[in-house]
Each structure stands twice: as structure tokens, then as C-alpha cells.
Amino acid sequence: MKRQSSYKDEKGKLYLVPTPIGNLEDITIRAKKILTDADYIAAEDTRTSGILLEKIGVHNKMLSFHKYNSKERAPELVKLMQEGAVIAEISDAGMPVISDPGYILVKECIKADIPVVPLPGPSAFATALIASGFDAQPFTYYGFLPRKSSEQKPFFEQMEKSHATSIFYEAPHRLSKTLKTMSSIFKPDRQIVAARELTKIHEEFVRGSIEEVTDYFVENAPRGEFVILVSPNTEKEETLSWSELIKLVDKLVQAGTSKKDAIKQVAKENKVSKNELYDQYHQG
């Protein structure tokens, strides 16, 4: 077990600072202060972040920190913080760590007993979720899926059965192909939401069945970054009666399986309590 105080010192710590996903007015007063006061800003893309920082009047020294240099750069940043530096880590947009290599830096800071201070702020998937019209409890966030259809299918098969709202990101030039792959897995009337350009002037939510949304983007070229949300599976799973389950156990026993193993197998395959099935079997 490890306990860590976020505010035990003024120096030598990591701040995780969310940045706007579109509308610059979404920068918080606290985020701007941290970015202004930090000794260094670790940015996923210094060019993209430089534009944002210039617009909000922050001129601190930036250090590149992205997936291609994260393993080498993380120890360097930790060393700076051990020497007393305050570093703010930012993503290109939204929450750090969610879709960038920030977790590598966080892990190294925790190991070195450097305080990690998270700030609340904008997140594309959470923003889309609350306006989707789908139940937000529970939900599953997948980030970016693999690009190949064959690699996407296992994810969609999991979403198809899931009783939680499913969320993932997609690029505009891959959206139509991804929707086509989804259509091969889901029933045509399964409800989805395609949210794009969140918090920007062209923000749009396309809601409907997979079939309807797919058809819409055949006629309307996808533009902007997308958050795709899939409604929970509300179909109730059919469950077998105790007498039917007992018959399955008997069938396995007749084939040579021990009663103990047969009960265990039938209970697992039908998602029932092994102990309850045992009691029902011996009562019969």
C-alpha cells in the first residue's frame, strides 16, 4: 500500500491539466494558473499546444512528451521534479492520460514518490455521453479501436452483448468503413449516436439506428473527429429452468463426466450458482 499527499510541497510535482477540446472558453481559471506557474509544460504536440498556449497568454517552456519518446523522456521529467521543478502535462485536447502516454509519466512519478495532482476538465467521451440520451451508468470507454475490420470485430461483438453504453473514437476518413463493420455485427435497429466537433461551432449529434446513421453518412461526408456511442443491449438473456439444467448435468454424467465436474460445467456455461445447482440436483 502507498499513500501520497498531493499538496505536501509546493515544489517537485506533476499536474495533469485538461485543455479545451474545441471551445477555448472551457479552459478553467485553475488550469490557466497552473500552466502559467509551472516550470515546464510537457506537451504531446508542441506545435498544437503552442497555438493554444499563445491564445490563452501562457509562454512557459514546453517539452515534447508523446508516444514515440515517452519511455526515454519520462525519467528525464522525473529527475527535473526530484530537483524541485513543477511540471504540467497536457494532451493535444481534453484530459491527459486518456488517449496519450501520460500514464507512463504518472507511473514513474508514483514510483519516485512525486505528488501527482489531477485537475478536472473537458473530456470528449464524457461530453458526448451526457448528451447521448443513453444510460450513463454503467458505460465502457474503448478509446480508438484498431483500424482493420478483422481486428474491430471482437470489440463490436463485446459491445453487441454489453448491457452498458459503449463509447469509442473514430476519425472521419474511417467512419463509413467502421459503421459498415458494425452493421455486420449488430441488429439494424440497434441505436447509436455519432457526435462530432464537440464544443465547436459545427457540433452535431447524429442519433438513430445503425442502419439510419450508416445511410446518413453515405449521403453526407463525415467531417471532424467523432465520438461513437452504442446503446446498451436491453434484451433479457433466456435462462433455463432448474429441471432443464439438471437434464444437462445428467447428460454429461451419462457421457462419463463426474457429477461434481458436470455441475460445475453446466453452472458456468449457464451463469448460475454452482452451489444452487448442486442443491437442486440432489433435491431432485
Full set of structural domains in the chain with CATH = 13-122 (3.40.1010.10), 125-230 (3.30.950.10), 242-283 (no CATH)
Give the distance from CA 145 to its chain's centroid. Answer: 10
| Cα–chain center distance at 82 | 31
C-alpha distances out from residue 202 to 21, 43, 141, 223, 224, Å: 13, 26, 24, 10, 9
- Rg for the chain, CA atoms, rounded: 25
29 phi and psi angles, rounded to 5 deg: -60, -45
Say what the pTM is.
Answer: 0.78
Residue 231 to residue 19: CA distance in whole angstroms: 28
Question: What's the pLDDT at 278?
Answer: 82
pLDDT 10s digit of each residue in the chain, 284 long?
A: 666 666 666 679 999 999 999 999 999 999 999 999 999 999 998 998 999 999 999 988 899 999 899 999 999 999 999 999 999 999 999 999 998 889 999 999 999 999 999 999 999 999 999 999 999 999 999 999 999 999 999 999 999 999 999 999 999 999 999 999 999 999 999 999 999 999 999 999 999 999 999 999 999 999 999 999 999 998 766 677 888 888 888 888 888 889 889 889 888 888 788 888 888 888 76
What's residue 267's pLDDT? 87
Give pLDDT tens digits for 10-60: 679 999 999 999 999 999 999 999 999 999 999 998 998 999 999 999 988
The rounded Cα 202 to chain-centroid distance in angstroms is: 24
Which residues, listed in sequence order, are joined to residue 229 by a DSSP beta bridge? Answer: 167, 193
**What is the rounded CA–CA span in Å between residue 150 and residue 37?**
47
Q: Map the chain to HEC letters.
A: CCCCCCCCCCCCEEEECCECCCCHHHCCHHHHHHHHHCCEEEECCHHHHHHHHHHCCCCCEEEECCCCCHHHHHHHHHHHHHCCCEEEEECCCECCCCCCCHHHHHHHHHHCCCCEEECCCCCHHHHHHHCCCCCCCCEEEEEECCCCHHHHHHHHHHHHHCCCEEEEEECHHHHHHHHHHHHCCCCCCCEEEEEECCCCCCCEEEEEEHHHHHHHHHHCCCCCCEEEEECCCCCCCCCCCHHHHHHHHHHHHHCCCCHHHHHHHHHHHCCCCHHHHHHHHHHC
Residue type, 136: A
Please check whether residue 221 is in contact with residue 211, taking contact to mean a CB–CB distance below 8 angstroms.
Answer: no
Three cell numbers at 101? 502516454
- Taking residue 38's Cβ as centre, other Cβ atoms within 10 Å add up to 22
